[in-house]
Structure 1
Amino acid sequence: MKRLFAIALGILTAIGGFVDIGDLVTNAQVGARFGLSLGWVVVVGVVGICVFAEMSGRIAAVSGRATFDLVRERLGPRVGLLNLAGSLAVTLLTFIAEIGGVALALELVTSVHYLLWVPLVAVLVWLVLWRAKFSLMENVLGLLGLSLIVFGVALWQLHPDWGHLSSQMAAADKPLGESWTLYAYFAVALFGAAMTPYEVFFFSSGGVEERWTTKDISTMRANVFIGFPLGGLLSLFIAAAAATVYQPLGISVETLGEVGLPVAVGLGKIGLAIAIVGFVAATFGAACETGLSAGYSVAQYVGWQWGKYVKPRVAGAFHLSLVLFTVLAAGVLMTMVHPILVTEFSVVFSAVALPLTYFPILVVANDPDYLGEHTNGRVANALGTVYLVLVGVAAIAAIPLMVLTKMGTA
């Protein structure tokens, strides 16, 4: 039973990281427009995040230190600062989007404008970051996020053409009437959403806080190889449901309510209510992860005492950074910039920052001074190298594709 609850960290990371506001919106948009012809990107993203999350978790378990804690030491302060700047910018952008996502989900429940929810959501997120134990975040938010499985149930009730969906995913070809440029833009966006940098920072730092040792490596791997594929499966359910309902009608997805509408069509109001619970849990969990990840990365680079379990009087700078980041996120949203727009920017710029995140992980995971006999094997290095090439291509292509397609609207 203890081992089962330990896997909850992987579930939380998957739900909060793989199915956050970026994945909810992007997968639904892609499903409505391209069907499952981009489903292969989700599969590639699942494998990639598993590869690097396993490395970062192993680093935490063997060295007792979080990934970013070692980046500055191993690569030097200048390269470390570049990594910090790139990853922190994307993490904060994602943090803003997640708080806005929670507010949008609450708007669906109450019909109260999301801007009125933003200050309350920000305060609640900060309270969880300050006071709640990891067990609460893992077991409550992670398990509630599993209610997104309702998309799979709704898909079954919608009676789609399974052969058509399968052929779309297997063919990996753009639909008629769409350009290859748009296809490539949404592929990069999906890839960025699947491999968001904060996921590995939260995962490794959480492992340090929970005092993983080499004895916990098997549990850590269970977290990775169960949690992230589960998140990927939920993403495919969301895309397939949108493809079944919207693609035949040529309707695009623009709002969080439209993301959940296929569930309402398939299962009615009760199904939609369950989906909204999943929206709230997933976005709130992701807000907690991104907020902590921002604080972790700064504190680990600078050398501050850090940790949820460290009292504010001991780790004052770390806890103050969480307050400042939360206030910043709420302040940006109160300027009336829409969370969906922030989400679309965050997934694209996430792709840009991927090499800055994953190259240092691969370097440290091969250093025997830190990992001893637990350094990468041939398979891990081969996959890591392949994915470094992929993230490099995605990083180079992301901004030009965003400009050329006008963020997917051209």
Structure 2
Amino acid sequence: MKKLFAVALGILTAIGGFVDIGDLVTNAVVGSRFGMGLAWVVLIGIVGICVYADMSGRVAAVSGRATFEVIRERLGPRAGLANLTASFLINLLTLTAEIGGIALALQLAAGVGPGMWIPVALFAVWIVVWRTKFSIMENVAGLLGLCLIVFVVALFLLKPDWGTLATQAVEPWTETSGHPLSYWYFAVALFGAAMTPYEVFFFSSGAVEEGWSKKDLSTERANVFIGFPLGGILSLAIAACASVVLLPKAIEVTSLSQLVLPVAQAGGQLALAFVIVGILAATFGAALETTLSSGYTLAQFFGWSWGKFRRPAQAARFHLSMIICLLVGGGILATGVDPVAVTEISVVFSAVALPLTYFPILVVANDPEYMGDEVNGRVRNALAVVFLVVILIAAIAAIPLLIITGMGS
């Protein structure tokens, strides 16, 4: 049992990061439009986030310091500020989407509009961040998020034509309607959702929270190579369910009720209850991660006292910054903006910020002053450079594709 909980950080990061509201919505949208035609993007995203999360966690375990602290020191305040600005703004937008996701999940459960649930979501996230121990937070949110495995169960219950799904995954997709570049717009969005910047900042800061050291590198690797592939499997299952049920009926996903329709069709009310719990846990876990990541990045850059291992009074600016971020996110949602639209925008802009997030991590992971004999080897560097090129291409293409395709319409 102790070994199971040792990978809870990776499970929380994967469920709340790899399968947050961005992945839930984007995978369902992609499945309802392209079937499994973009499964290759999810696979690339799994490998990419594993490569960079492993580096981020290794930096934290070996140096005993969070990635953002080391980035500022290693690259200097100017480069660190550019990294902070891009990552923080994307993180704030993602936090807004996650709060909206909690409200939508509660709407599914209670049948009452999401507007009244936004204050509830804000208060719940704040009280957990304020009062709950890090270990309890990650264990409860991560394990409840495993209810999303119901998508995998639902896929088997739907008895799909596996050959058709495989064909969709390996053959080039020819869309009969919509903008011809929409396929590539959603490819970039799916990649941005898989490699959202806050994932690595939360993961490295969580390693410091848990007191990891060099002797915990095996735990770090277990977190990465169990947690994120698990998130990838759930993402593929969500897309496959949408492909089986929604694609033949030309139903495009614009709400969570459409997202869970395949699960309800496959398993009835019991399966629906499980998926609602899973979505609520995933979005709540992601809201916790993005809230904490906002505080982590600001505190680590400016040298404030930070961490849930400290009492709030000992890290007042860290906690105050998180409260402000929650209020800003809630204020944006209070304008009546559609949380699903915020989610779609956040994953695309995440792709834009990726180079500023991941290039500094690669630099630090190759610095023997911080890493000693745990610096990247040739294989790690080769993989990291390949993915850095992919990240750069996605970042350059994101905004033009957003404009040209009208958000994939």
Letter in 1 for 2:38: L
Per-residue deviation at 1:335? 1.0
Per-residue deviation at 1:178? 5.5
The residue aligned with 2:206 is 206
Per-residue deviation at 1:270? 1.1
Give the distance between the partners of 1:169 and 1:175, measured in 2 at CA: 14
Letter in 2 for 1:224: V
The residue aligned with 1:132 is 132
Give the distance between the partners of 2:249 and 2:339, measured in 1 at CA: 26
Per-residue deviation at 1:180? 4.0
Task: Say whether residues 1:403 and 2:403 are aligned partners.
Answer: yes
Per-residue deviation at 1:138? 1.8
Task: Say whether residues 1:315 and 2:290 are aligned partners.
Answer: no
CA deviation profile, 1:295-337 (whole Å, cap 9, x unmatched): 1001000010100111122211101111111111111111111
Contact in 1 for aligned 2:34/2:173 (Cα 8 Å):
no
The residue aligned with 1:335 is 335
Letter in 1 for 2:247: Q
Alignment of structure 1 residues 375-386 onto 2, 5 Å: 375-386=375-386
CA deviation profile, 1:326-370 (whole Å, cap 9, x unmatched): 111111111111111110110000000000100000000000000
The residue aligned with 1:68 is 68
Give the distance between the partners of 1:4 and 1:20, measured in 2 at CA: 22
- Give secondary structure in 1 for the equivalent of 2:248: helix
Per-residue deviation at 1:175? 4.0
The residue aligned with 1:87 is 87
The residue aligned with 1:393 is 393
Give the distance between the partners of 2:171 and 2:8, measured in 1 at CA: 35
Letter in 2 for 1:70: V
Contact in 2 for aligned 1:38/1:172 (Cα 8 Å):
no
Give the distance between the partners of 1:140 and 1:313, measured in 2 at CA: 25
Q: Number of aligned pairs?
A: 409
Give the distance between the partners of 1:251 and 1:291, measured in 2 at CA: 33
- Give secondary structure in 2 for the equivalent of 1:248: coil
The residue aligned with 2:349 is 349
CA RMSD, Structure 1 to Structure 2 (Å): 0.9
CA deviation profile, 1:353-396 (whole Å, cap 9, x unmatched): 00010000000000000001000011110011001100100000
CA deviation profile, 1:161-204 (whole Å, cap 9, x unmatched): 10010111122434444654111000000000000000000000
CA deviation profile, 1:187-226 (whole Å, cap 9, x unmatched): 0000000000000000000000111001100111000000
The residue aligned with 2:266 is 266
CA deviation profile, 1:27-63 (whole Å, cap 9, x unmatched): 0000000000100000000000000000000000000
The residue aligned with 1:42 is 42
Contact in 1 for aligned 2:179/2:405 (Cα 8 Å):
no
Give the distance between the partners of 1:331 and 1:248, measured in 2 at CA: 39
Tell me: CA distance 1:168–1:374, structure 2 relative to 1, closer, same or farther (3 Å).
Answer: same
What is the TM-score with the length of structure 2 in the denominator? 0.99
The residue aligned with 1:228 is 228
- Give secondary structure in 1 for the equivalent of 2:408: coil
Give the distance between the partners of 2:116 and 2:62, measured in 1 at CA: 45
The residue aligned with 1:9 is 9
Give the distance between the partners of 2:258 and 2:280, measured in 1 at CA: 15
Give the distance between the partners of 1:102 and 1:172, measured in 2 at CA: 35
Q: Any unmatched runs of 5+ in structure 2?
A: none
Letter in 1 for 2:144: L
More displaced, 24-33 or 328-337? Answer: 328-337
Per-residue deviation at 1:2? 2.0
Give the distance between the partners of 2:178 and 2:266, measured in 1 at CA: 28
Give the distance between the partners of 2:157 and 2:311, measured in 1 at CA: 50
Give the distance between the partners of 1:14 and 1:112, measured in 2 at CA: 29
Task: Say whether residues 1:192 and 2:174 are aligned partners.
Answer: no
Task: Say whether residues 1:52 and 2:52 are aligned partners.
Answer: yes
Contact in 1 for aligned 2:98/2:283 (Cα 8 Å):
yes
Per-residue deviation at 1:22? 0.4
Per-residue deviation at 1:232? 0.3
- Give secondary structure in 2 for the equivalent of 1:304: coil
Contact in 1 for aligned 2:27/2:239 (Cα 8 Å):
yes
Give the distance between the partners of 2:74 and 2:135, measured in 1 at CA: 32
The residue aligned with 1:168 is 168
Identity percentage of aligned residues? 63
The residue aligned with 1:159 is 159
Give the distance between the partners of 1:372 and 1:163, measured in 2 at CA: 49
- Give secondary structure in 2 for the equivalent of 1:249: coil
CA deviation profile, 1:257-278 (whole Å, cap 9, x unmatched): 1100100111111111110000
Give the distance between the partners of 1:114 and 1:177, measured in 2 at CA: 32
- Give secondary structure in 1 for the equivalent of 2:218: helix
More displaced, 230-239 or 155-164? Answer: 155-164
Per-residue deviation at 1:236? 0.4
Give the distance between the partners of 1:172 and 1:71, measured in 2 at CA: 40
- Give secondary structure in 2 for the equivalent of 1:360: helix
Contact in 1 for aligned 2:134/2:309 (Cα 8 Å):
no
Give the distance between the partners of 1:94 and 1:174, measured in 2 at CA: 31
Give the distance between the partners of 1:312 and 1:118, measured in 2 at CA: 24
- Give secondary structure in 2 for the equivalent of 1:315: helix
